[in-house]
Structure 1
């Protein structure tokens, strides 16, 4: 039994870690006097808010530092099965064209302490007829619902809700095809709200990020990268929506624009969430060091970075506990995290 400092998703607290049935568990509250202290800090597994599980070897994720992922576009039947069972460290078939790669620096003890990953999902992309990504070869079979009118929209929203979706992914990419009219987009937002599904929008093209937020999108699947938003628009969005980062998928001007937008959005009090668009090109099945670096470049440090990573509740009985050896709250680096194991409790 050891005293430990841990991050509860909001701030730093004191608790006790001990072995229970051979597994390390965390409990809340101050420790007894004289109890040895864990040399480091503890937190729950991190969240990647934008992944595509059908485009990667998702079984590898069970040995990563992620505790939860949010799939933002795939076949709802497949995703429902993954969400019900969690992703465990078992062989998984690769779809042709998958892009994920193992982490370049293996995490100590990861394989031996693989865990079931919590999966949330949006289900199928909801798109205008002929709209993105209906014509993309990488889009898995059954992963797009082309919606022409309110009736089709109601059917698509009801289908995703029945599948167990936690949000609705709506595409609005004017550079790649047709997008919804203002009226139909607003209708989709209303239909989704009736099923308690917030709309996550892929907004791309001049004015699209501004338009979809004005029409009720609760979250942007990508921090705006088409153009620099003015400060007034940044303030409006900071008060009404959240952004998923996905900064590392960009290069050149798009990356610079996205980082500048995120820097000002964060400074204005906006909620930035860590997300990688896993499956969009080569990237590790784990925390993405390039995404973390880009978030830091955009001004997210220390607790702000941890909030973006949204670690799971470490007090939950089934929580995967991560350990940052030798760290204190001001020096906690997510990339230094590894699983907390029984050997860490040896005096």
Structure 2
């Protein structure tokens, strides 16, 4: 047994780590003063709030520092199977983009998968014409009846949110009335709407119409401070900053910087599947969040680590770190060897 400092998702606390049936487990409470102290801090596996599991080798994610992912657009039947069965451990390997720790006694675990199900879009809207969109991953909705059917289908598959697209640069978008209707239908099923907003004025419009979350921090245009304040009070943003470059990246980071300063909730998300990126924490995304002013505990809150006290939790260890110096990119799995005195 070792005393340990851990992050519970809100703040830092004290607990005890010990081996239980060959697995390292964390318990809450103050430890005996005579216990040796773990040289470092402990967290739960991190959350990527924007992934597309059908566009990546998702089996590799179970060997990463992620404990949970939220899929924001795919075939709902496929995603339901992945969520129910979990994504099991992949063979331990290592390459430049993926983080794996070989373990002499692998611990069976499954990555927690949440999902929105299919993209809900206007007829002919984004991404209905995209080759990358998996078969069965788009629902084109023309009216309230079709909207009710799509929302009911996603709720029945076990979705935790509803993905609605509003990309005026790539095709038709919903009218204000129909978008507002979809938000209401989703709310009746306890499904917050996560909106892909792209094009002039779209980020402002969808939040005003009731979207609870933006799938991408606004990147089309600079939002004025009054709009930033409104959004900080009513919606959260998923970062996805690293998918941009040039002026678009500059605009997105500036919007996030001011949104965070205004008290808005920023969530770490990568849009995994949108081009080459690691099946793990994305160092470029972390760097962009820091550039936008998220440091220390603010960065950890964006990464939404899972509850490390949960029986099935994947425990991460930051050797030699303290709460003040905790760097998510330095995290690795906590293993029995770490408890050797």
TM-score (norm: length of structure 2): 0.95
CA RMSD for the aligned pairs? 3.8
Does the CA contact (< 8 Å) of 2:2 and 2:16 recur in 1? yes
| Cα gap change, 1:299 to 1:29, in 2 (>3 Å) | same
Once the two structures are TM-superposed, the CA of residue 89 in structure 1 deviates from its matched residue by 2.2
Retained in 2: the 8 A contact 1:50–1:275? Answer: yes
Deviates more, 1:299-308 or 1:95-104: 95-104
SS at match of 1:330: coil
CA distance in 2, matches of 1:254, 1:127: 24
> C-alpha distance in 2, partners of 1:104/1:156?
46
- How far, CA to CA, are the matches of 1:323 and 1:284 in structure 2? 20
- 83-92 vs 243-252, greater mean Cα deviation: 83-92
Label 1:130 to 1:49 Cα distance change in 2 as closer, same or farther (>3 A): same
CA distance in 2, matches of 1:181, 1:61: 38
Cα distance, 1:34 vs. partner? 1.0
Give me the whole-angstrom Cα distance separating, in 1, the residues matched to 2:72 and 2:140: 16
Residues 1:323 and 1:138: Cα distance change in structure 2 (over 3 Å): same
Q: CA offsets, 1:278-326, max 9 Å, x none?
A: 0000000000000000000000000000000000000000100000000
8 Å CA contact 2:92, 2:102 repeated in 1: no
Deviations 1:224-243 (A, max 9, x none): 00000000000000000000
Aligned counterparts of 1:228 and 1:187: Cα–Cα separation in 2 = 28
For residues 12 and 97 of structure 1, the distance between their equivalents in structure 2, rounded to whole angstroms, comes to 30
Contact 1:57 1:94 in 2 (8 A): no
Answer whether contact 1:49 1:275 (CA < 8 A) is retained. yes
CA shift, 1:104, in A, is 22
Q: Offset at 1:256?
A: 0.2
4+ residue runs of structure 1 moved beyond 6 angstroms? 91-108
* Structure 2 unaligned spans of 5+: none
Contact 1:45 1:320 in 2 (8 A): yes
Q: Supply the distance in 2 between the matched residues of 1:280 and 1:98 (Cα, whole angstroms).
A: 16
Deviations 1:130-181 (CA, angstroms, capped at 9, x unpaired):
0000000000000000000000000000000000000000000000000000
2 CA distance for matches of 1:171 and 1:207? 14
1:59 and 1:89 in contact (8 A); partners too: yes
Q: Which moved more, 1:61-70 or 1:86-95?
A: 86-95
Using a 3 Å threshold, how does the CA distance of structure 1 residues 310 and 236 change in structure 2: closer, same or farther?
same
1:1-31 superposed Cα distances (whole Å, 9 cap, x missing partner): 0000000000000000000000000000000
Q: Give the match for residue 53 of structure 2.
A: 53
Question: Offset at 1:95?
Answer: 20
TM-score, length basis structure 1: 0.94
* Gap regions ≥5 residues in structure 1: 109-114
SS in 1 for 2:24: strand
Task: Give the match's secondary structure for 1:283.
Answer: coil
Structure 1 match to 2:63: 63
Whole-angstrom CA distance in 2 between matches of 1:319 and 1:192: 30
Say if 1:200 and 1:220, in contact at 8 Å, map to a contact too: yes
Q: Taking structure 1 as reference, are residues 331 and 105 closer, same or farther at Cα in structure 2, changes over 3 Å only?
A: farther
Quote how far apart the aligned CAs of 1:33 are: 1.6
- Pick closer, same or farther for the CA change 1:67–1:100 going to 2, 3 Å: closer
Aligned-partner Cα distance in 2 for 1:104–1:285: 22
Partner deviation per Cα, 1:93-112 (whole Å, 9 max, x = no partner): 9999999999999999xxxx
TM-aligned CA distance change 1:72 to 1:91, over 3 Å:
farther
Rounded to whole Å, the distance in 1 between the matches of 2:104 and 2:317 is 20
Name the CA shift for 1:34/1:99 in 2 (closer, same or farther; >3 Å).
Answer: closer
Cα 1:209–1:252, aligned 2, differ >3 Å: closer, same or farther? same
Conserved 8 A contact 2:87-2:112: yes
Alpha-carbon distance between aligned partners in 2 of 1:93 and 1:55, rounded to the nearest angstrom = 20
